[in-house]
Amino acid sequence: MTTSSDNPTATRTETDSLGSVEVPAAAYWGVHTLRALENFPISKRPISVYPELVIALAAVKQAAARANHDVGVLNDRKAAFIDAACQRIIDGEYHEQFVVGVIQGGAGTSTNMNANEVIANVALELAGYAKGRYDILHPIDDVNRSQSTNDTYPTALKVAMTYSLTTMLDELELLRRSFSAKGREFHEILKVGRTQLQDAVPMTLGQEFHGFATTLGEDLERLRETIKLLGEVNLGATAIGTGITADPGYAARAVAHLSTITGHQLVTAPDLIEATSDTGVFMTFSSALKRSAIKLSKICNDLRLLSSGPQAGFGEINLPPKQAGSSIMPGKVNPVIPEAVSQVAYAIAGADLTVTMAAESGQLQLNAFEPVIAHSLLQSITWMRQACWTLRVNCVDGITANTERLAGMVASSVGVITALIPFIGYGEASALAKLALVTGRPVADLVVEAGLMTREAVVAQLVPEKLSGIGPITQAIPVIELQGEPSE
């Protein structure tokens, strides 16, 4: 065995309850992390793919060190070096040392051990000692003091999701603004509305895009509500919620420090037994995220329909061309950005089912399946954030309207006769609509020829503001005098 960290094959010996193993000398992780690497070669994705989680773990450990120092169970020197090591990780260093897979058994113990070992070895280096000198500063006795995986890991998950959600909401808000801007840009462009894929009454393209913005705004509010739910943590509960091994004053101090470190208002759960075993908040959050993703996918489906063609489809709007659409058909351009966003929504819907099953499968005082909950939700947030970005930058901001086609479809639409029902009645309107479909003639001409309204009156009602519902069009239908005597 060699011990020089300059030698890439050098190792150091570390020992746990199962025996001694050789750990790469350059690694900041140790024996417990090595066991996890051997046991869980499943996902091929280390937890470092979620930097928010790594930062959250360091923040929890930093808060714990400060609280342990407050209550007198961690001396000044150890607390200071642990604190400094955590800050280095929070600032973005050593993330590549968080190597355990995102899918793991043990309710997150491997992730917690990875964090403990990296923080301990960074702290040892800062203090001038070699990695592995756990007689000086220990990953469990010192870094993990007053803690269990069962309170630090779910607390870190909630902090990580809050971090990640905050940045995702920023992107969702920018996307909402883009749709709103298109609503203003298209506010005077009339088009044919559709229900059940059949022609309906007119509206404006601006109204359609404003509706997209509104639905995204509603989801922003629902997702923001979950941030408060994520702020209730069980830090200080230790193994099952009884707080065993922790000073009575530790929990309150640890949560207060964590609030300061993260910049988010966190509170201690009122029932730590319940908070340690229950994962309901993750289901609530997952459901809200799925709702937003599915509604965004519906919008993307609408964009694909509205832009379909360009010759044999709706062809009402143009999506920015982003890449060649076919290896065999020259000139073909596909709606690749909305297609990608919809696939993200499908993945998020699947992840929501995973979270639901994992939440249901927890037994008694702990849910052992929080790692797959963490992976499912952090991946969903990350993908949703990037989907919002690419939809805004590579699609929505560049959408244009085919104004001539839209105007032509409105002019030939039978649906405009709906605006004349308050003046001619449903029965007359229905008969003339059928006649217009058969003959292909404009309904305005047929109404005038039938003597039901003057040309001026028809034109006055078929202006954009009235066809789109912006201006009132209703009035009492004139009484038609009946011929002959009333029947007995």
Question: By three-state DSSP, how is residue 202 classified?
Answer: strand
What is the rounded CA–CA span in Å between residue 454 and residue 392? Answer: 47
Q: For residues 47 and 166, give the distance between their C-alpha atoms in angstroms, rounded to a whole number.
A: 20
User: In angstroms, rounded to a whole number, what is the distance separating the alpha carbons of residues 42 and 110?
Assistant: 14
Distance from the first to the final alpha carbon of the chain: 115
Contact in structure between 296 and 216 (CB atoms under 8 Å): yes
The DSSP output letter for 319 is: P
Alpha helix positions (H), 395-462: 403-411, 421-424, 426-439, 443-449, 455-461
d(CA 364, CA 247): 25
Q: Which of 43, 148, 307, 326 is catalytic?
A: 326
| 127-131: Cβ within 8 A, 24+ apart | 127/77, 127/81, 130/12, 131/5, 131/12, 131/25, 131/27, 131/28
3-state secondary structure of 402: coil
**Phi, psi of 22, deg, nearest 5:** -100, 125
Distance CA(254)–CA(235), nearest Å, equals: 7
Note if 412 is an active site residue.
no
Rounded CA gap, 104 and 36, in Å? 8
| CA separation for the pair 378, 375 (Å, rounded) | 5
Residues with Cβ within 8 Å of residue 149, at least 6 apart in sequence: 106, 107, 108, 109, 111, 112, 113
User: Two tokens at 130?
Assistant: 């070699």
Residue recorded with tokens 């350059």: 26
Residue numbers annotated as active site: 326
